[in-house]
Chains A and B, each alone.
Chain A
Amino acid sequence: MVRLGDMASTVRSKNAGPDCITFDIIFRDAQTYERVKASGALSAERICRLYGLEPERLVHFGAFDPALAFKFTIRRARPSGSPGETDVMGSQMYPPLLDLELPASVLQQSPPAA
């Protein structure tokens, strides 16, 4: 097993408007990105389990090829900056992703072209 934090070059979270937080996981090279994508290890279900979210709070999950990235967006429990707020910009919500385990297959080199 390998950690997502060791494979991705950028893992970040940030507000997307007052009601949502969006997460970006960006890879440095296309091979790693494609292997992670092919592994199916990053999925909406897994994100919901990691963050303890009801599926309806995950409003977007998908891969974004031009940036070699995965992106997902969650709805906040209450709007940003309401009383009780812990992270008004949503910028420290990503760290649990760093420890997400990926199968060792994401490390394998692509087979040489036939």
Chain B
Amino acid sequence: MTSGGDKLNANGFRMSRLGQREPPIPVGLRPVKLLTPTGHLGFTPIEPESFWKGVAQRPDAIIADSGSCDIGPHPLGADEAASPRTWQEHDLELMLTASRRLGVPMIIGSASDTGTDRGVREFAAIIRELARKHRLPRFRLATIYSSQDLHDLKRRVETGAWTAGLDGRPPLTVEDLEQTDNAVAVMGVEPILEALRQGADVIIAGRACDPAIFAAPLRLAGYDPAVAYFAGKLLECASFCAEPFAGKESILGTVDGDGIVLEPMSSYQRCTPASVAGHAMYERANPLREYVPGGYVDMSDCVYDAVDERRTRVRGPRWVPGERYAVKLEGAGKVGERALMIVGIRDPNTIARLDDAIAWSRRKVRERFAGEQYQVFYHVYGKNGVMGELEPIREIRSHEVCVVVEGVAPTRAEAMELTNLAGRNFLYARIPGLKGTAGAAAFMSDEVLPARAAYRWTLNHVIAVDDPLELFRFQFEEVG
């Protein structure tokens, strides 16, 4: 519906020329094409071939999320990236060079896995380096920061801010915040939309709810929150909405007055009504609702229709405003230092009496560390090492098992000692009928492995705010 003669506005969107014959859709609801190459930028490198095929479709924006709470609480708690910098650079380089070539916005959410201020600063530094390397013409870079000052959050809780715990947690308490090392607020569409309105060409956002980064250019083009956020939900994991299963392949989403059309850019994949509907329910507790700040998208009446063999159109999301505008908070806090030891067991008698061997190890740890703050875990691979308490199979027939001992204590030295004691005591486990009296366990190496510190998710809450922008900070700069 657009032609090469259309003008580009400040944000790179093609503007309609007056007097041109157009379908009867309101002014402002121009079709918008969004290209996304990956569901988690930097996690493993983007596949370039389908990305460049997508760029050839002349998208109106190139967008990717780079964070997740799937990777556990450690990256946020320790404020570290979970992805190698070289892979982050690889993905950002593809997206930046393509977006500058087309003159359309590039939007990254949840920078560097955590979406903390560290992640935003690191990604912004990569963008500046890439601009120099490719001698890119001048562009406007917006950075949006979402790390939270824990004292400010405490003040909000103490002065009666409305909060709620998610997934069965009670409302936010000062104690929750005292156990937190790092916290981020998860932005909705508004901060990203604000950056676009202020003329940003490249946006590096802190922690953002996945659909919001896609919703921003759609809201700017005049689409309602239901379509904008729902398009974002469908696009946020890139090729996961297509079949066969494949990662890191690009997807093009085209939004017009009649819904959202999804098309895979890899010839290996198809977007079918089943694959798109299957993805609509992915990674969420309830398949019919997508909660975002300020409300939720009701997907009960969504209809998924094949356009052709490779494309699917979705219609019918509804926006349900919430009673209040609340922003999600994620936080992680340190539990202690951590160490691991790998213990192998082959003696069938010991395997049959494994619980006794573990009880012996526990007892020896208890005797030495009684009264101290510590935790010890026995991961028994070959029994329930993967599923733990949820493993329905109780009787095992493994001829060997692996016990990974995990010890947590306040200091590194204590964690190492504790884990060593727990591991080595499998050698001396007092088991009736033991024939191998030179040792009841095999060590891959008589060695305790120092592990990353232990963290836990302390915050999974929402907090009401007066202004959707108030927990976020902006910086704009000219680059290139």
Interface residues of A (CB under 8 A from B): 10, 14-20, 22, 24, 26, 28, 50-53, 59-60, 62, 64, 66-69, 71, 73, 75, 77-89, 92-93, 95-96
B286 touches A60 (CB 8 A): yes
Q: Hey, which chain A residues are within 8 Å of B390, CB to CB? A: 51-53, 93
A67 touches B408 (CB 8 A): no
Select the stretch in B143-151, B381-389, B422-430 that faces chain A. Answer: B381-389
Return the chain B residue nearest A64 by Cβ: B287
Is B69's beta carbon under 8 Å from chain A? yes
B71 touches A88 (CB 8 A): yes
A81 touches B278 (CB 8 A): no
Q: A73-B286, A83-B406 are in contact. Are A15 and B70 (CB under 8 A)?
A: yes
Q: A73-B286, A82-B335 are in contact. Are A17 and B278 (CB under 8 A)?
A: no
Is B211's beta carbon under 8 Å from chain A? no
- Most chain B C-beta atoms within 10 Å of own C-beta, residue among A51, A53, A62, A67: A67
Q: Hey, which chain A residues are within 8 Å of B389, CB to CB? A: 52, 77
Inter-chain CA distance A103–B53, complex, in Å, is 47
Is B456's beta carbon under 8 Å from chain A? yes
A84 touches B386 (CB 8 A): no
Inter-chain pairs besides A83-B456, A96-B387, 7 sampled, C-beta below 8 Å: A17-B285, A20-B167, A52-B389, A59-B285, A81-B72, A84-B375, A88-B72
Pairs of residues from A and B, 6 with the lowest C-beta to C-beta distance, nearest first? A81-B72, A19-B167, A67-B277, A66-B277, A79-B457, A84-B377
List 9 A-B pairs, Cβ < 8 Å.
A52-B389, A66-B304, A69-B277, A83-B454, A83-B456, A86-B386, A87-B388, A93-B390, A96-B392
Closest-CB distance, A35 to chain B (whole angstroms):
17
- Most chain B C-beta atoms within 10 Å of own C-beta, residue among A22, A50, A59, A66: A66
Give chain B's interface residue range (CB within 8 Å of chain A): 35 or more
Closest-CB distance, B11 to chain A (whole angstroms):
32
Which residue of A53, A82, A87 contacts B387 across the interface (Cβ within 8 Å)?
A87
Inter-chain CA distance A40–B346, complex, in Å, is 43
* Chain B 261-286 interface mask (CB, 8 Å, partner A; 1/0): 00000000000011001101111111
A18 touches B386 (CB 8 A): no
Is B223's beta carbon under 8 Å from chain A? no
Return the chain B residue nearest A84 by Cβ: B377
- Most chain B C-beta atoms within 10 Å of own C-beta, residue among A81, A85, A89, A95: A81
Closest-CB distance, B372 to chain A (whole angstroms):
15
B72 touches A80 (CB 8 A): yes
Q: A68-B274, A75-B167 are in contact. Are A83 and B385 (CB under 8 A)?
A: no
Which residue of A10, A16, A18 contacts B278 across the interface (Cβ within 8 Å)?
A10
Q: Hey, which chain B residues are within 8 Å of A77, CB to CB? A: 388-389
B285 touches A81 (CB 8 A): no
B387 touches A86 (CB 8 A): yes
Q: Hey, which chain A residues are within 8 Å of B118, CB to CB? A: none
A52 touches B281 (CB 8 A): no
A82 touches B338 (CB 8 A): no
Q: Hey, which chain A residues are within 8 Å of B375, CB to CB? A: 83-84
A75 touches B168 (CB 8 A): yes
Which residue of A17, A26, A51, A92 contacts B166 across the interface (Cβ within 8 Å)?
A17
A67 touches B280 (CB 8 A): yes
CB under 8 Å from chain A, chain B span 225-282: 273-274, 277-278, 280-282
